[in-house]
Amino acid sequence: MFDRALKPFLHSAHLQPLKDPVDQCVAYHLTNLQKSLPEQEIDFITDYDMHPNRRPKILAQTAAHVAGAAYYYQRKDVESDPWGDKKIAGVCIHPLYGGWFAIRGVLLLPGVEVPHLPHLPPLDCVPTQEGRIALLESFNFHWRDWTYRDAVAPVERYSEEQKAYFSTPPAQRLAMLKGLREDPMSLEVQPKETVGLSWGMGLAAPRRVLATVPQGT
């Protein structure tokens, strides 16, 4: 998303003043999607939409798991819990992108019914107990070093520029993006680190169309 969507969005002539660039970029592209399907009602609920009582309207990672897009690994997936009374958050892992993606929201298509569409569960790409413990340990206690995202060998990782952006404190990100907007060369798509497709493809080979795409944190 950062290189293929956000950076072109920053350079676009119709850009409004920036407040939350990633959210504005997502909203822009979803608006274009709605315009391209004028006959279809589309409801989009973002990962930050809240009810009046401040509870989230969706649980994004749960939605990804239910949709079969990415497996949501939680504490209950570990048989021998090593954490005692510590609070352990769960994390989604994609069979192709590992943890190098984010879930920005849910698209709903009211009135569309496909009764014979089979439900496909998400691919369990971290099947061992040791792997799951290492994943949750890394995500909860060492998330800043990015290593949990490599729970499976991804076909693509974030560019260094994207990693720098999401490592920057939120209050300083606008200044960083201002530099990108003022330097046209920096808005060119940068090559991303990729991993050979031969690794683990027997495990991660897709058997469905996965809608999840690599995005920000």
pLDDT in tens, 107-143: 999 999 999 999 999 999 999 999 999 999 999 999 9
Mean pLDDT to the nearest integer, 184-199: 44
> Hey, CA dihedral for 43, 47, 53, 54, is it positive or negative?
negative
Domain boundary assignment for the chain? 5-174
Output the average pLDDT for the chain. Answer: 83
The pLDDT value given to residue 211: 39
Q: Strands 43-46 and 105-108, how do they pair?
A: antiparallel
Tell me the C-alpha distance between 151 and 96, whole Å.
11
Residues 6+ apart with CB under 8 A from 185: none
The pLDDT value given to residue 95: 97
Mean pLDDT to the nearest integer, 25-53: 91
Q: Using a pLDDT cut of 70, give the percent of the chain over it.
A: 81
Mean pLDDT to the nearest integer, 31-54: 92
